[in-house]
Amino acid sequence: MDLHEQADAVCDERTLLEFIAALIADREDEIEKDAFTPPDPYGPGANGCQNGCIETFRSAASAWANSTNFEQSQGLAGNPWRQFEAFLYCGEIYE
């Protein structure tokens, strides 16, 4: 199951923790791939991560949360597991 599919499957504490483990594994895989073929410094890593350091990750996650009101308009209101999943996932992919 890819990250997007796993993100969509988050519905409770267990599935959130599984998603977080998948994010960690994906980032470790990307770091390994990028060591052999360094990515464009202005583009995503080998697995699509837009934010390769904690500072840009936090900034992107915060920007996403502020611009979407924590995805309230997209049907995640009242589902804190999905909101946190989206926050983490968007920290990785949001530009």
Q: What is the pLDDT of residues 4-59, one digit of tens each?
A: 899 999 999 999 999 999 999 999 999 999 988 888 888 899 999 998 889 999 99
pTM attached to this predicted model:
0.85
Question: In which domain, by residue range, is 40 found?
Answer: 3-93
Instruction: Provide the domain count of the chain.
Output: 1
| Range list of H helices, the chain | 3-8, 13-36, 54-68, 80-93
Give the H/E segment covering residue 47: none
Contact 82, 11 (CB under 8 A): yes
Q: What is the pLDDT of residues 64-94, one digit of tens each?
A: 888 888 777 666 767 889 889 999 999 998 8
